[in-house]
């Protein structure tokens, strides 16, 4: 493999490992909150967290992604500094304004989404918005300078450790949504400070150069991404708000509990696409179409390889997994879990398409597809949630994700001849389905968690054998080399 491929693989592997820790801690924290608080309190927290997560992303105006694309193309520290400072100048004041707007109107917000409950908690969550936006913009800078270890430190290690420590302490001391909101505020205050330290140490942000505002140039690229981010956040968070509007708070709690389980499927893709984008951007600048095809197919193949066992387990044991993780009161979410799992796996199969199209500079097309997908998601949610609650939300999300991914991959194929994976992956998936079904039937003599453990162990063995005999020999040899170098 070439240097760029080795860098992509090693960086993706690093982020994969640290995101396992990240997702594990945050997922365990969600389980802790779901079990320790009642379902209505958990629903209140879900809306508060969704509020700052959604708004702190939208107000970036896509400039964090723009930095991830532009910075690798510049060698001049002054120009890099101009772009970084311009991005923060365009973002931080807006985030403070949004924070104040929600705080002033917290009564109306609480009445609309939470039946008038926890107004103060919503106000505190609003104060997290500027802090979270600083951290997210810094992660965009880190992506641009291609330092995956810094992203791993800030977002995958420090964030879950801080939230885990402060939130658990808050629940043990007080056990209210208000105390958890304060814990989030404290954690993100520390994260914002750490972000500033990273900018000071690893970038020319605080160097003494004359300053030229590059916000207009950056926004020309990022403005379409703003629409994309809004629509993407609609896919992620709108269903939570709409379930809260049309259904009971308990339904919000159930849906919010099962959604992170399916998110476990895409954290592998998230790990690889972070470093994929600047690498793909450089290849596009060089007009190296062949290498672009190879890099895309290789990245997608790795993601599919590492994700398939988890997907098969989720599809076959949804109710058992929910009961084991959250308790029987959440088991009614099993159908929604299955639907969401299928929807997210289509995203995995088709690869880091949004990052590829964005790196190629076609942000207008991305925004067009985003608008189509976002509006279809809103319509589907309005049609399905009143009658089917969180199951309807799951169906709407799955259909929207399929629409999104198919459109982007058609563009990549028509523009560059890019296909998401090689033929050997199809055979691996077919054989995995056959052996997975057989092992599922064989494991029927066990029950509960024992059956899941037995199935997972047997399927992992079968899957490894399939990969060895059918998989890409370069990937097999790479794993051998990695194991040999470590042991």
Query: Which residues of 245-396 form beta strands (DSSP E)?
Result: none
**For residue 327, is it within any domain?**
yes
In whole angstroms, give the CA distance from residue 191 to residue 148. 17
In whole angstroms, give the CA distance from residue 435 to residue 416. 35
**For residue 461, is it within any domain?**
no
Please report which confidence band the pLDDT of residue 447 belongs to, taking 50, 70 and 90 as the band edges. confident
pLDDT of residue 481: 54
pLDDT of residue 161: 95
Q: For the ranges 43-52, 162-171, 452-461, which has the lowest average pLDDT?
A: 43-52
**For residue 362, is it within any domain?**
yes
Closest by CA to 461, choosing from 446, 486, 442, 481, is 442
**For residue 427, is it within any domain?**
no
**For residue 470, is it within any domain?**
no
Between CA 370 and CA 233, with CA 245 as vertex, the angle to 5 degrees is 25
Q: For the ranges 17-31, 72-86, 107-121, 304-318, which has the lowest average pLDDT?
A: 107-121
> Which residue range is the domain that position 112 belongs to?
3-421
**For residue 484, is it within any domain?**
no
Tell me which DSSP letter residue 105 carries.
Answer: T
pLDDT of residue 464: 82
pTM of the model: 0.73
Max CA pair span of the chain: 72
Q: For the ranges 56-60, 125-129, 384-388, which has the lowest average pLDDT?
A: 56-60
pLDDT of residue 175: 78
Q: Are 185 and 56 in contact (CB under 8 A)?
A: no
The structural domain count of the chain equals 1
Q: What is the dihedral of CA 166, 171, 175, 176, to 10 degrees?
A: 30
pLDDT of residue 483: 46
Mean pLDDT of 211-217: 79
**For residue 137, is it within any domain?**
yes
Mean pLDDT of 316-327: 88
Q: What is the CA radius of gyration of the chain?
A: 22
**For residue 468, is it within any domain?**
no
In whole angstroms, give the CA distance from residue 357 to residue 370. 12
Quick check: helix, strand or coil at residue 363?
Answer: helix
Both tokens assigned to 42: 């958990």
33 vs 263: which has the higher pLDDT: 33
Mean pLDDT of 162-188: 91
Closest by CA to 257, choosing from 376, 394, 159, is 394
Q: For the ranges 382-391, 436-445, 469-478, which has the lowest average pLDDT?
A: 469-478
């Amino acid at each position: 493999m070439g240097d760029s491929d080795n860098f992509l693989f090693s960086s993706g592997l690093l982020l994969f490992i640290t995101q396992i820790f990240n997702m594990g801690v945050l997922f365990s924290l969600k389980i802790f909150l779901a079990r320790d608080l009642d379902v209505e309190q958990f629903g209140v927290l879900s809306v508060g967290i969704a509020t700052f997560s959604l708004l702190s992303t939208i107000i970036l105006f896509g400039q964090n992604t723009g930095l991830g694309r532009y910075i690798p193309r510049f060698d001049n520290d002054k120009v890099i500094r101009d772009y970084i400072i311009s991005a923060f100048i365009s973002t931080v004041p807006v985030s403070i304004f949004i924070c104040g707007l929600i705080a002033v109107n917290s009564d109306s917000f609480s009445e609309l989404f939470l039946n008038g409950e926890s107004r103060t908690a919503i106000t505190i969550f609003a104060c997290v918005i500027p802090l979270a936006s600083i951290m997210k913009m810094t992660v965009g800078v880190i992506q641009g300078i291609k330092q995956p270890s810094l992203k791993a430190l800030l977002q995958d290690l420090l964030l879950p450790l801080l939230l885990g420590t402060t939130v658990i302490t808050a629940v043990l001391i007080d056990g209210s949504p208000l105390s958890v909101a304060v814990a989030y505020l404290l954690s993100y205050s520390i994260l914002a400070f750490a972000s500033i330290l990273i900018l000071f140490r690893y970038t020319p942000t605080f160097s003494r150069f004359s300053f030229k505002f590059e916000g207009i140039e950056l926004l020309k690229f990022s403005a379409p991404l703003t629409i994309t981010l809004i629509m993407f956040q609609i896919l992620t968070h709108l269903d939570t708000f709409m379930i809260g509007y049309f259904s009971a708070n308990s339904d919000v709690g159930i849906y919010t509990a099962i959604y992170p389980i399916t998110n476990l499927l895409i954290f592998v893709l998230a790990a690889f696409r972070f470093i994929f984008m600047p690498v793909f951007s450089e290849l596009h600048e060089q007009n190296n179409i062949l290498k672009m095809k190879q890099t895309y197919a290789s990245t997608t193949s790795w993601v599919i390889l590492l994700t398939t066992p988890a997907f098969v387990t989720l599809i076959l044991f949804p109710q058992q997994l929910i009961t084991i993780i959250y308790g029987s009161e959440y088991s009614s979410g099993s159908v929604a879990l299955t639907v969401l799992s299928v929807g997210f796996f289509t995203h995995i199969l088709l690869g880091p398409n949004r990052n590829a199209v964005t790196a190629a500079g076609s942000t207008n097309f991305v925004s067009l597809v985003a608008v189509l997908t976002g509006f279809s998601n809103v319509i589907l949610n309005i049609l399905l949630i009143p009658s089917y609650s969180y199951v309807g939300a799951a169906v709407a999300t799955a259909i929207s994700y399929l629409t999104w991914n198919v459109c982007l991959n058609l563009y990549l194929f028509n523009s560059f001849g890019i296909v998401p994976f090689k033929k050997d992956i199809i055979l691996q998936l077919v054989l995995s389905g056959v052996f997975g079904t057989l092992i599922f039937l064989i494991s029927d003599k066990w029950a509960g968690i024992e059956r899941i453990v037995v199935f997972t162990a047997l399927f992992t063995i079968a899957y490894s054998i399939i990969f060895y005999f059918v998989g890409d020999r370069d990937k097999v040899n790479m794993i051998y080399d990695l194991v040999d170098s470590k042991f």
